[in-house]
Amino acid sequence: MSDNLNLAERLRPVPRSGLFKQEGYCVWCGSLLKYGDEYYLYYSRWPEEIGFKCWCTDCEIAVARSKDLFGEFTFDRVVLKGEHDGSWDESCVHNPQVLEYKGKFYIFHMGNNGHGNPDIREDWLNYNRRQRVGCAVADHPLGPFRHCSEPVVDISENGIDSLITSNPAAAIAPDGSIHMIYKAVSRPDDTSVPFPHAVICGAATAENPMGPYKKHGKPIMLNPNNRWSVEDPTIWHNGERWYAVVKDFQGYFSGVKPEKGYTLALMTSEDGFDWRPAANPFVSDLTLIWEDGEHELLCNKERPQIFIENGELRALVCACARYPGYGDSFSLRIPIE
């Protein structure tokens, strides 16, 4: 099976309308869906005045719409938020990834139910360490979306995800099942894992988006030289093999050590569990190239999401920020040739 995808060569300069932000809000993530003659962009948002760190205390998921994939998107509505009803995701929902499956629409997301004052470090960690993977379902892209009563991928007693499950990336496998990669963090005292309390990716599979999910149980895409390997995966199957774009913390997999920050790397796998760098592993650094010729060096370019339309790669969606501390955050749609 050939492995000749070169995303770096196919990424095109971005039109100014490919940037989406919303006044008064921090904007993060970005997952696209085509429905009818419109494109739907699902994204994370929370009040800008409370600061970027409140992504894990006050985030909700909204949707914007446009008839042009790279044109101006307009906010439509909030489709998912914490209900403050004692549920597992009452405080915040974050990291949306939308998936259409057998006529229904699913939003995979992180949720938590922390308590306390997020300005106090211990209280903020109470939110952060309660991250779990959930999935909401609706009959229409605009909802109403129904929360799942329990996380679809919860933590394990021991192992790579004994503290946190988050950042879900799900795709439909050739046999119609669901394959997921997610961010896993173990407890600091968990000696059953190679790098306790580090960000590691795990995998899980299910017959349908709502589960139940069977965990692979082993770390994937592991950097043997560093505790933190990759995060923020997006995955798809091209009919021959699996591909993933990930945030590569040290440039270990992309083979490019950037002068600033990190890189995005392309990974591949035959079975979805045993991953290696693709033949052309480098995808992008933190440079943003505008269609009018301007080059801009960002502070952050994360949460990559591949958008596929009619079997063709059309866009790489990234969450970006211009300034240290995630200042001036936005969602970016980068055209793919």
Q: What is the pLDDT of residues 102-158, one digit of tens each?
A: 999 999 999 999 989 989 999 999 999 999 999 999 999 999 999 999 999 999 999
**Last residue within a domain, chosen from 99, 118, 151:** 151
Mean predicted lDDT score pLDDT of the chain: 96
Q: How many domains does the structure of the chain reveal? A: 2
**Last residue within a domain, chosen from 259, 285, 311:** 285
Residues 134 and 246 reside in one and the same domain: no
User: By residue range, what is the domain housing residue 77?
Assistant: 25-151
Residues 161 and 273 reside in one and the same domain: yes
**Last residue within a domain, chosen from 239, 259, 285:** 285
Q: Does a structural domain hold residue 17? A: no
Q: Does a structural domain hold residue 257? A: yes
pLDDT greater than 70 at residue 310: yes
What's the pLDDT band for 304 if we cut at 50, 70, 90? very high
Residues 146 and 157 reside in one and the same domain: no
pLDDT greater than 60 at residue 1: no
For the stretch 319-331, pLDDT in tens is 999 999 999 999 9
Q: Does a structural domain hold residue 92? A: yes
Residues 55 and 115 reside in one and the same domain: yes
Q: Does a structural domain hold residue 264? A: yes
Q: Does a structural domain hold residue 198? A: yes
Residues 116 and 230 reside in one and the same domain: no
For the stretch 153-178, pLDDT in tens is 999 999 999 999 999 999 999 999 99
Mean pLDDT of 293-304: 97
Mean pLDDT of 61-80: 98
For the stretch 35-46, pLDDT in tens is 999 999 999 999
The model's pTM is 0.97
The secondary structure of the chain, three-state, reads CCCCCCHHHHECCECHHHEECCCCEEEEEEEEEEECCEEEEEEEEEEHHHCHHHHHCCCEEEEEEECCCCCCCEEEEEEECCCCCCCCCCCEEEEEEEEEECCEEEEEEEEECCCCCCCCHHHHHHHHCCCEEEEEEECCCCCCCECCCCCCECCCCCCCCCCEEEEEEEEECCCCCEEEEEEEECCCCCCCCCCCCCEEEEEEEECCCCCCCEECCCCECCCCCCCCCEEEEEEEECCCCEEEEEEECCCCCCCCCCCCCCEEEEEEECCCCCEEEEEEEEEECCEEEECCCCEEECCEEEEEEEEEECCEEEEEEEEEEEECCCEEEEEEEEEEC
The CATH code of the domain that includes 270 is 2.115.10.20
Residues 194 and 279 reside in one and the same domain: yes
What's the pLDDT band for 195 if we cut at 50, 70, 90? confident
Q: Does a structural domain hold residue 328? A: no
